[in-house]
Structures are given as C-alpha cells and as structure tokens.
C-alpha cells in the first residue's frame, strides 16, 4: 500500500476518517448495489469542503484511486474502490431554500428526499429522480430525468451553479460567470471534473400533483405503448410519466389473485393546476382496460418516494440503456417480447420521455448531448438473491441486445453499466472533444477516473 497516513488525515479532517480497523468500516465501504464488494484504504465522511480538499489531496499525493459517493446509487459501483480513498458525502446533506429567489442550495451528498422535503415546504420543486433515496449529486451531474423533466428540463438544466473541489485541491465556483467551462462540463459529464460539494438549483412552483400507477394486461401492452408514443409527443408539458414493466407487488389496490404477475404499468404525474389532473390522465384510463390503478392528489414528495420500498439498498444491480429517438413498431415488439419476462418484483424497464423542455436546450449548451432523443429507456435488473445473478444479468442483456439495434448508439451515463466504458464517446456525440479539453484543464492526470471516464 502507499504511504497514506490515516492519523495525519484525521488531523486534517473534521469529519470521520474510517480505516479497515474501524468498527464502521464494513458498513462504510458498502454501496447500494450489493454486487459491489470493495475494500478501500480509507473512507472519508467530510463535514465541509475543507475536509473534501484534504481527502482529494491525500489521494493525489499518495497516488491512490479516488472514489466519490453522493447518494451511493451508482449501479457500476464507482462510489467505492479497492485500496484507495473514498469520499462519502452522506454527511453533507443540508438543503437551504431561498423562496424569494426560488433557488435551493444542496450539499453534495443530499438525496432527492432531503431536497424535496426542503423545497416542498415552500411549494417549490425542481426536476429530480423518481426514487427519493437517490443522490442529487450523481443524478444531476449525469443528467437528471424525472416526472418534471418535460416541464422544467433535466435536473442539470436547472443547475445555476456549483462549488467544486478539483483535482489540484482548489475549491472553485462554477457558474455562467466563473469557470464557465467547468460549469458546462459538469452538466452531463458526471464525476469526471471534481467533487461537487454544493449545487444551486432553480426552483418552480409545484406543490401537490395528481397521478399514480395504472396497470394493464400484458396483452394490451402493444396498444398502450403505441398510444404512449403518440400521446407523449404533444401532451401538455405538465404531464410526466412513463410505461414500466412491473410484477404486481402485494398492494391492496391490485386484485390479490393477480399479485406476482407481470403487467405493463404506466406511472403518471400531472404537475399543472390540480383540478386539471384527472382530465389529463384520463386518456391513459381510456386506452385499454385497466386491471388496477391508484390515482389521486398527493404532495410531490409523496409521489417521489412512493416506489422507494420496491428498491431497498442491498439488491444486486445490473442495468443497460440507450437513448431512443423513435419508438418504432419493431422496438415495441422487442419490448413486448422481453418485458413480460421481468424476473422479480424489484426489476423493471422504464421508458422515460425526454421531450418538451429537455429538447429546448441546445445540444452543445451543456455536456448532455442527446437533446433530440425522445425517450430514455432503462433496463434495470435489481434482484435480491446473489444465487440468481446469472439469470437476472441474462434477462437484462437479452433485452438490451434486442432493443439496442433499434436505438441510438449512445445512452444516458446514469443508466449504464461498468462494462459500457467503450460507449463513452457515443454518449457525448459532438461534445466529447470539448469535454476532453476541459478534463485536461481541470484533471490532467485523471485523478477522477472512477466514473464513465472521459480520458484527458
Ligand atoms: C433505485 C434507483 C433509481 C434511479 N432513478 C433515477 C431517475 O429517476 N432518474 C435518473 O435520472 N436517474 C435515476 N437513477 C440513476 C442515477 O441517476 C445514478 O445511479 C446516479 O449515479 C446516482 O447518483 P448517486 O449520487 O445516488 O450515486 P453515487 O454512486 O453516489 O454517485 C455516482 C457517481 O456520480 C459521481 N458523484 C456523485 N455525487 C457526486 C458529487 N457530489 N460530486 C462529484 N461526483 C459525484 C461519482 O462519480 C459517483 O461515482 C436511479 C438509480 C437507482 C439505483
């Protein structure tokens, strides 16, 4: 091992410095995906940006790998490493709201649950993910797709600035005026450019929403998916939602005798005037017979945490993804062939819409390049039993092999696997060369390489 001196690091860091001999080590080295089992030299849980600087310097000066963890949800396990330094930001989660300016400042380890709770108190929200335990950090730096994306753009489109600790140990402000190239790159470039210790977001008035899940028979999936493709092209932008393959969980609104069967579900969210909700969801109730539904008015954070229980920490994860411009008849057939084979209740495929406000941003305005794609599907294998790894990975791969040729070459970096590193250029299209330039400027030695890596 290197000359890393944990006592020296403890003197520099006000938060926790957890080494292999500490009682907290086994819990601290874990990430959300239970397939990942790594043993870092140290896990630093910082209290502030100065602690992050100390950890970044320790990794650089000792020639160690450096992993950065926000919410810990990253499926490829880049949030931990063997023998290196892990910066676990879960101790930096505060969110403060400025209701007059309609902005929120979130520390780098905040989850969407932390964020939504703070902003909802002021009747405000911004685009986040659909599970409340996911980190603001990883999700925003890669893109940020959720219920509000058609109306307000990706999470990163709502970013107005960030505080970033770069590889040289400097704390930098990144926004349109300061380090504008860094600001451009972190909006889609993932964790390649430094540790974001804080994010500042634009907020929007969103309080209660109308929506919830609808379940259809597998036999009606073709009708529903064909309808979805047309409907979402010009549905009002306050409508967010997506079709999903879903095994029926044992919930009271689903007939008991159907629990455990696969369905095509549609998760809906109307974020416009609440009285207009039922009319805007009605087309999805009319398109095919409904087996079960659970629609109603609810606080936005309630919808954002409604499915958390389906995906607890500690499942095995393997995900694949491509962007899709056109959901062709052939693609729908591929979904219908593989979707109903979804092996377990926690696994799913979501076909997220990314039109509306997402497409009004120019492809070179931020690092996120796929501004003309209409859909971001994800094949999300998430299963409890490690003995079932082969069967579950095979389901994801078979599904992916059938749909990838009918999709764009690139995909959303936040839905990709560790074996997708060779697709990095395709993910960024014409923005790739500029990303390399910015990487050379801020991280010439690729200290931040545990990510979908942009090589300097
Ligand atoms: C259950 C589940 C639901 C999801 N739902 C959605 C969804 O609705 N919409 C969507 O767009 N995506 C979704 N995702 C994908 C999600 O965007 C990625 O997994 C993302 O990487 C998670 O971020 P995190 O901070 O939780 O994870 P982490 O594992 O902590 O971070 C992933 C990577 O991002 C970087 N990173 C994280 N925080 C920082 C930071 N503060 N500074 C610098 N780098 C950082 C690091 O490189 C890190 O390795 C979901 C994932 C899961 C597992």
Supply the mean pLDDT for the chain: 97
If DSSP states are collapsed to H, E and C, what string results for the chain? CCCCCHHHHHHHCCCEEECCCCCCHHHHCCCCCCCCCCCCCEEEECCCHHHHHHHHHHHHHCCCCEEEECCCCCCCCCCCCCCCEEEEHHHCCCEEEECCCCEEEEECCCEHHHHHHHHHCCCEECCCCCCCCCEHHHHHHHCCCCCCHHHHCCHHHHEEEEEEECCCCCEEEECCCCCHHHHHHHCCCHHHHCEEEEEEEECEECCEEEEEEEEECHHHHHHHHHHHHHHHHHCCCCEEEEEEEEECCCCCCCCHHHCCCEEEEEEEEECCCHHHHHHHHHHHHHCCCEEEECCEEEEHHHHHHCCHHHCCCCCEEEEECCCECCCCHHHHHHHHHHHHHCCCCCCEEEEEECCHHHHHCCCCCCCCCCCCCCEEEEEEEEECCHHHHHHHHHHHHHHHHHHHHHCCCCCCHHHCCHHHHHHHHHHHHHHHHHHHHHHHHHCCCCCCCCCCCCCC
Taking the centre of ligand 1 as the mean of its atom positions, its distance from the CA of residue 287, in whole angstroms, is 34
User: Euclidean distance between the first and final Cα of the chain, in Å?
Assistant: 26
CB of 108 within 6 A of ligand 1: the answer is yes
CA–CA gap between residue 446 and residue 299 (Å, rounded): 42
By most ligand atoms within 8 Å of CB, the mutation choice from 77, 81, 132, 135 for ligand 1 is: 135
Determine contact, residues 63/57, Cβ cutoff 8 Å: no
Residue 248's contacts (CB-CB under 8 Å, 6 or more residues apart) are 215, 254, 258, 259, 260, 261, 262, 263, 292, 345
CA 135 remoteness from chain centre: 7
Q: Is the pLDDT of residue 2 over 80?
A: no
Of residues 322, 435, 303, 358, the one with CA closest to residue 155: 358
CB of 339 within 6 A of ligand 1: the answer is no
CB of 40 within 6 A of ligand 1: the answer is no
What residues are paired with 246 via a beta bridge? Answer: 263
Q: Quick one: tokens of 14?
A: 């006000």
CB of 189 within 6 A of ligand 1: the answer is no
Q: Is the pLDDT of residue 1 over 60?
A: no
CB of 396 within 6 A of ligand 1: the answer is no
Which residue's alpha carbon is nearest to atom 7 within ligand 1?
Answer: 129
Residue 307 banded pLDDT, cuts 50, 70, 90 = very high
Tell me the pLDDT tens digit for each residue of 354-374. Answer: 999 999 999 999 999 999 999
Residue 238 banded pLDDT, cuts 50, 70, 90 = very high
Taking the centre of ligand 1 as the mean of its atom positions, its distance from the CA of residue 174, in whole angstroms, is 20
Q: Is the pLDDT of residue 101 over 80?
A: yes
Q: Is the pLDDT of residue 243 over 60?
A: yes
**Mean pLDDT along residues 318-330:** 97
Which residue's alpha carbon is nearest to atom 44 within ligand 1?
Answer: 191
CB of 112 within 6 A of ligand 1: the answer is no
CB of 352 within 6 A of ligand 1: the answer is no
CB of 70 within 6 A of ligand 1: the answer is yes
By most ligand atoms within 8 Å of CB, the mutation choice from 74, 86, 111, 348 for ligand 1 is: 74
**Torsion sign, CA atoms 396, 399, 404, 408:** negative
Tell me the pLDDT tens digit for each residue of 132-156. Answer: 999 999 999 999 999 999 999 999 9
Taking the centre of ligand 1 as the mean of its atom positions, its distance from the CA of residue 261, in whole angstroms, is 30
Tell me the pLDDT tens digit for each residue of 259-272. Answer: 999 999 999 999 99
Of residues 386, 319, 366, the one with CA closest to residue 347: 319
Q: What is the pLDDT of residue 232?
A: 98
What is the pTM assigned to this prediction? 0.98
CB of 142 within 6 A of ligand 1: the answer is yes
Residue 402 banded pLDDT, cuts 50, 70, 90 = very high
Q: Which long-range contacts (CB under 8 A, 24 or more apart) does 434-437 make?
A: 434/184, 434/185, 434/364, 434/367, 435/185, 435/189, 435/192, 435/367, 437/181
Of residues 99, 93, 97, the one with CA closest to residue 112: 93
CB of 30 within 6 A of ligand 1: the answer is no
CB of 378 within 6 A of ligand 1: the answer is no
By most ligand atoms within 8 Å of CB, the mutation choice from 67, 70, 112 for ligand 1 is: 70
CA 344 remoteness from chain centre: 21
Q: In which residue are the tokens 């990163």 written?
A: 156
Could you give the percent of the chain with pLDDT greater than 90?
99
Q: What is the pLDDT of residue 3?
A: 87
CB of 209 within 6 A of ligand 1: the answer is no
Tell me the pLDDT tens digit for each residue of 425-444. Answer: 999 999 999 999 999 999 99
What residues are paired with 351 via a beta bridge? Answer: 377
Of residues 444, 352, 438, the one with CA closest to residue 129: 352
CB of 106 within 6 A of ligand 1: the answer is no
Give the Å distances, CA to CA, from 209 to 35, 139, 156, 281, 337.
36, 22, 22, 12, 33
Which residue's alpha carbon is nearest to atom 51 within ligand 1?
Answer: 73
Taking the centre of ligand 1 as the mean of its atom positions, its distance from the CA of residue 106, in whole angstroms, is 15
Which residue's alpha carbon is nearest to atom 13 within ligand 1?
Answer: 129
By most ligand atoms within 8 Å of CB, the mutation choice from 53, 138, 163, 188 for ligand 1 is: 138
Taking the centre of ligand 1 as the mean of its atom positions, its distance from the CA of residue 138, in whole angstroms, is 3
**Mean pLDDT along residues 206-225:** 98
Torsion angles phi and psi, residue 44, rounded to 5: -100, 125
Determine contact, residues 418/76, Cβ cutoff 8 Å: yes
Q: What is the pLDDT of residue 226?
A: 98
What residues are paired with 296 via a beta bridge? Answer: 211
**Mean pLDDT along residues 68-95:** 98
Q: Is the pLDDT of residue 66 over 80?
A: yes
Taking the centre of ligand 1 as the mean of its atom positions, its distance from the CA of residue 395, in whole angstroms, is 23
CA 223 remoteness from chain centre: 29
**Mean pLDDT along residues 187-200:** 98
CB of 113 within 6 A of ligand 1: the answer is no
Q: What is the largest CA-CA distance in the chain?
A: 66
By most ligand atoms within 8 Å of CB, the mutation choice from 113, 133, 137 for ligand 1 is: 137
CB of 141 within 6 A of ligand 1: the answer is yes
Instruction: Please give the torsion angle defined by the CA atoms of residues 78, 316, 305 and 74, in that order, rounded to the nearest 10 degrees.
Output: 10
Of residues 290, 279, 155, the one with CA closest to residue 210: 279
Taking the centre of ligand 1 as the mean of its atom positions, its distance from the CA of residue 343, in whole angstroms, is 24
């Amino acid at each position: 091992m290197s000359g890393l001196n944990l006592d020296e690091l403890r003197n520099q860091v006000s938060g926790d410095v957890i080494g292999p001999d500490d009682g907290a080590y086994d819990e601290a080295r874990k990430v959300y995906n239970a397939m990942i089992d790594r043993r870092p030299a140290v896990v630093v849980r910082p209290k502030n940006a100065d602690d992050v600087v100390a950890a970044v310097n320790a990794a650089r000066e000792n020639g160690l790998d450096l992993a950065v963890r926000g919410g810990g949800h990253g499926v490829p396990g880049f949030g931990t490493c063997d023998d290196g330094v892990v910066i676990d930001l879960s101790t930096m989660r505060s969110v403060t709201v400025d209701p007059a300016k309609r902005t929120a400042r979130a520390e780098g380890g905040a989850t969407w649950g932390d964020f939504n709770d703070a902003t909802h108190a002021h009747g405000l929200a911004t685009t986040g993910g659909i599970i409340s335990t996911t980190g603001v950090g990883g999700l925003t730096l890669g893109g940020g797709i959720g219920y509000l994306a058609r109306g307000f753009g990706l999470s990163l489109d709502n970013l107005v600035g960030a505080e970033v600790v770069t590889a040289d140990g400097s704390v930098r402000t990144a926004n349109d005026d300061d380090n504008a190239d860094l600001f451009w790159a972190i909006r889609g470039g993932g964790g390649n450019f430094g540790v974001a210790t804080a994010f500042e977001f634009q907020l929007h008035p969103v309080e209660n929403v109308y929506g919830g899940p609808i379940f259809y028979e597998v036999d009606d999936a073709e009708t529903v998916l064909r309808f979805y493709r047309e409907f979402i092209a010009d549905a009002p932008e306050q409508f967010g939602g997506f079709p999903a393959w879903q095994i029926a969980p044992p919930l009271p609104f689903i007939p008991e005798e159907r629990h455990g069967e696969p369905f095509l579900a549609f998760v809906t969210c109307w974020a416009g005037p609440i009285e207009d909700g039922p009319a805007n969801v009605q087309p999805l109730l009319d398109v095919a017979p409904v087996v079960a539904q659970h629609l109603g008015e609810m606080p936005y954070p309630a919808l954002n945490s409604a499915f958390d229980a389906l995906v607890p920490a500690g499942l095995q994860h393997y995900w694949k993804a491509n962007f899709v411009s056109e959901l062709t008849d052939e693609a729908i057939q591929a979904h219908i062939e593989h979707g109903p084979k979804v092996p377990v209740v926690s696994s799913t495929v979501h076909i997220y819409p990314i039109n509306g406000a997402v497409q009004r941003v120019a492809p070179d305005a931020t690092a996120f390049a796929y501004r003309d794609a209409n859909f971001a599907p994800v094949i999300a294998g998430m299963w409890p039993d490690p003995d079932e790894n082969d069967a579950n990975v095979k389901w994801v791969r078979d599904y992916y092999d059938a749909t990838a040729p009918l999709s764009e070459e690139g995909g959303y970096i936040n839905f990709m696997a560790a074996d997708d590193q060779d697709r990095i250029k395709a993910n960024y299209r014409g923005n790739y060369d500029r990303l390399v330039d910015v990487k050379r400027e801020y991280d010439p030695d690729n200290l931040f390489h545990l990510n979908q890596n942009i090589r300097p």
